[in-house]
Structure 1
Amino acid sequence: MSIAKATLDGGTARAVLLLACGLALAGCDTLSSINPFDKSETYKMEIVAEVPAEQLYNDGLARMQRGDTDGAAKKFGEVEKQHPYSEWSRRAMIMTAFAHYQGLRYEDSINASRRYLQLHPASTDAAYAQYLLAMSHFNQIPDVTRDQDRSEKALAALQELVDRYPKSEYVADARQRIQVARDQIAGKEMEVGRYYLQRRNYTGAINRFRDVVAKYQTTRHVEEALARLTEAYMAMGIAGEAQTAAAVLGHNFPDSPWYKDSYALLQTGGLSPREDQGSWISRAFRGLTGVRTAGG
């Protein structure tokens, strides 16, 4: 028995109205007639029984099983409110994040997960909270035609999971999803780069393709990025970089149709693939596991 509520009759409402009058008009004399001890104003005490934490928690689980994720989140929230310093409260906090996630209320899940991580960063469920946070971003990744801010947030949260909880059971799945997020971001860069290339904004196009080659070498877009660099540099008359892009493409993806196109394009200018070891393209690939340059 811990929480008391007071129910006031109409007399108190009248007093509040008079008080408002006094604040608005300093000369209002009716305030002097208010007696805080007036027995005509009756208070009815309502005692609300405290529900045991375990019962609230189990009620939340029962609602989850019935598919009532919103109701479950509210029950878990009650555990936190009524028993804030208990072990049940900590469990309820992570279950709140999970209930929101299951209900596709991703922003609520993100907020609940962050709160859990702030309060319990070293707990046994911290890795799971980070996973829920990352997946809530990941499940909102849009197609490549739209802004990829959500992809970048998902990538950052997934990478944090791998870095902070390397022995977690969620790491293997996180690594796979990191690749998906990276591929999505690279895809957006390629889309913008092609847009610039079609409009002969070669500098803008090169900057986009350069990001893919420098940052997202393990994605499926790197072959096209190197081919597009060959095309853009050729259009600008920068033969050395065009030859280097084609040479790196050929050494790493010799059977790629993009390499065949790049080779043919160089031939139209009387050139052939030739790597300049001092080029940023060569340096970007040098030392990367599974990727080699002509001199490597």
Structure 2
Amino acid sequence: MVKVSKTPVRAVGLAALCALSLAACASNDKKPRLVYEERPVELLYATGADRLDRRQWNQAVGYFQEVERQHPYSEWSRRAILMQAYAHYQSNDYAEAIGDAERFIQLYPGNPAAAYAHYIKAICYFEQIVDVNRDQAATGQALAALRDVVQRYPRTEYAADARLKIDMVNDQLAGKEMTIGRWYLRQGDTLAAANRFRTVIERYQTTSHAPEALYRLVETYLTLGLADEAKRNGAVLGHNYPGDIWYADAYRLLTSRGLRPAVEPASGGGRGIFRLPFTRDKDKTVTPPQAEAPASAPSAG
């Protein structure tokens, strides 16, 4: 005969609830404990800031979310949105960080701290740029977001850093065009290759890939029988990069065909500076929005 337990259902439910609570506390919970208790906004915010200092990004997000939930119309709530964006960025949760930044921009477009929101959004796209041999969707998004920072806030420190990163992004995009152009050359599709190299000269002429792109145009135009175009691009290469080895190669190629560009190759030059496939720094360089922190935050206690 099976013995039926007489333990009340309510007691079983309470026991299960306690077990779940203990399990959540025992595990490495990503949310702060007792987060749903009503607490002073200053204490919630300061505790979140303390978790940031300890690099406990997920717990920091939990406290700043509670600031928003419990005090949605306060000044602290506005600050907490940016702090969430920063914490998500630090934990490499770029989608969430971009979402936080966009939410801040939508709610407070005229606020001075919107510059930081635009900047951290751009940096999140920038740090997702991958090797030139893969899809460059994030590269295009990064370029658009960085240009937006420069256009909106041209005299800020964010714009100064964005300009430097725009150069790196352009170099990445030029490298992608060069990779495709070289592939077309290997496949024998000379005309398609020439179009790719010409794109580099027209759109990314200040990047480190420009000397090679000009040389490849000399090479492809000679293959296509367009001697005048080959000679013209060789002259442009010699005028702008007289000491570059790419021009020395182009000069030898042209003279071997009885053609001579207007500029003699300079001696002692070296090949232009070419970046390795793009990788972001392991150490984060974006600082938290200190201007948004309260002047004298209370202790986390």
**Same fold (TM > 0.5):** yes
Post-superposition shift, 1:216? Answer: 0.5
Q: CA offsets per residue over residues 180-203 of structure 1, 9 Å max, x none? A: 111111111101101101221011
Could you tell me which runs of 5 or more consecutive residues in structure 1 were left unpaired when the two chains were aligned. 1-8, 11-47, 276-296
1:159 aligns with 2:150: no
Over 6 Å off, 4+ runs: none
1:86 aligns with 2:83: no
* AA at the equivalent of 2:84: T
Superposed counterparts of 1:193-272, under 5 Å = 193-272=181-260
Q: CA offsets per residue over residues 251-272 of structure 1, 9 Å max, x none? A: 1111111111111111222112
Q: Secondary structure at the match of 1:170?
A: helix
Counterparts of 1:229 and 1:155, CA distance in 2: 26
Counterparts of 1:63 and 1:103, CA distance in 2: 13
Post-superposition shift, 1:51? Answer: 2.0
Q: CA offsets per residue over residues 150-199 of structure 1, 9 Å max, x none? A: 11111111111011011212122111111111111111110110110122
What TM-score, normalized by structure 2, do the two folds share?
0.73
Post-superposition shift, 1:231? Answer: 0.4
Give the alignment's Cα RMSD to 1 decimal. Answer: 1.7
Match of 2:278 in 1: none
Higher relative contact order (CA 8 A, sep 6+): 2
Aligned length: 230
Instruction: State the identity %.
Output: 50
Counterparts of 1:115 and 1:182, CA distance in 2: 28
Could you tell me which runs of 5 or more consecutive residues in structure 2 were left unpaired when the two chains were aligned. 1-8, 11-35, 264-301
Q: Secondary structure at the match of 2:206?
A: coil
* AA at the equivalent of 1:131: Y
Counterparts of 2:157 and 2:256, CA distance in 1: 54
Match of 1:73 in 2: 61
Post-superposition shift, 1:49? Answer: 5.5
Post-superposition shift, 1:71? Answer: 1.0
Q: CA offsets per residue over residues 196-251 of structure 1, 9 Å max, x none? A: 01221011101111111001011000000000011011100111211111111111
Match of 1:120 in 2: 108
* AA at the equivalent of 1:65: D
1:142 aligns with 2:127: no
Counterparts of 2:59 and 2:37, CA distance in 1: 20
Match of 1:288 in 2: none
Match of 1:56 in 2: 44
What TM-score, normalized by structure 1, do the two folds share?
0.74
1:104 aligns with 2:74: no
Post-superposition shift, 1:147? Answer: 1.4
Q: Secondary structure at the match of 2:131?
A: coil
Post-superposition shift, 1:273? Answer: 2.1
Counterparts of 1:157 and 1:274, CA distance in 2: 42
Q: Secondary structure at the match of 1:265?
A: helix
Counterparts of 2:153 and 2:191, CA distance in 1: 41
Match of 1:280 in 2: none
* AA at the equivalent of 1:176: L
Post-superposition shift, 1:50? Answer: 2.9
